[in-house]
Structure 1
């Protein structure tokens, strides 16, 4: 079965704390990330936390992108979920890493909407259950 969507999860550590707290810069980064995956932007929602940190969610016709930042930990968590077309994983990860000046990056790409075989684990550390 073909995946219904692709979900990229990116953890960025040792980032520039000032950039992580700069809401316009983070918003622009996420819009650029949406363009990188050739997505159609529908809208943007953003929030600045007190005393620091931001969240930006970009709603796209194909699903969404989101970022949550913790400047005090020099850390950002990013999700890029797309449906219906392939994701340019390396390009998105490179863009995020470069613009946030990340010292360490980990990324996982998941195929969404594929039913695993009954009784088997879908991925390491993930349990599945079926209702009968």
Structure 2
């Protein structure tokens, strides 16, 4: 076993642009979508914390046994910033792929980071 076997993780970040206002402003829709994304990617949800902003916007963070997933929405801009970081066998690409289907952005900017290795 090398030094990185216990620290290696993968983080996928996505910026969603031109998303429907009502999707980005619905805490219920976002929470349901995140839970499905977590299940599909093979991660285990420990709990969530969320904040519904006025006049609009949502932040939701999911604590995973494998790390975390988070979303911050800006409905008036049609924008969502999403991050999914996991270790082990869970696959953050699957979570982001599902969220892309659920949110239907017209544009996606996506970055992948391999974390915990030198």
The aligned runs of 1:1-132 (5 Å cut-off) are 4-87=8-91, 89=93, 91-115=94-118
Q: Give the Cα–Cα distance (whole angstroms) in 2 for the partners of residues 75 and 81 of structure 1.
A: 20
Structure 2: 5+ residue stretches without partners: none
Post-superposition CA distance 1:6-56 (Å, at most 9, x none): 111011000011010000000111111111211111001110011100011
TM-score by length of 2: 0.89
SS at match of 1:30: helix
Contact 1:45-1:58 within 8 A present in 2 as well:
yes
Figure out how many residues of one structure are paired with residues of the other and give that number: 114
Structure 1: 5+ residue stretches without partners: 116-132
4+ aligned runs moved over 3 Å, structure 1: none
Shifted more, 91-100 versus 32-41: the winner is 91-100
State the Cα distance separating 1:86 from its structure 2 match: 4.7
RMSD of aligned Cα (Å):
1.4
Contact 1:8-1:81 within 8 A present in 2 as well:
yes
Contact 1:55-1:67 within 8 A present in 2 as well:
yes
TM-score by length of 1: 0.80
Q: Give the Cα–Cα distance (whole angstroms) in 2 for the partners of residues 48 and 88 of structure 1.
A: 25
Structure with the largest fraction of strand: 2
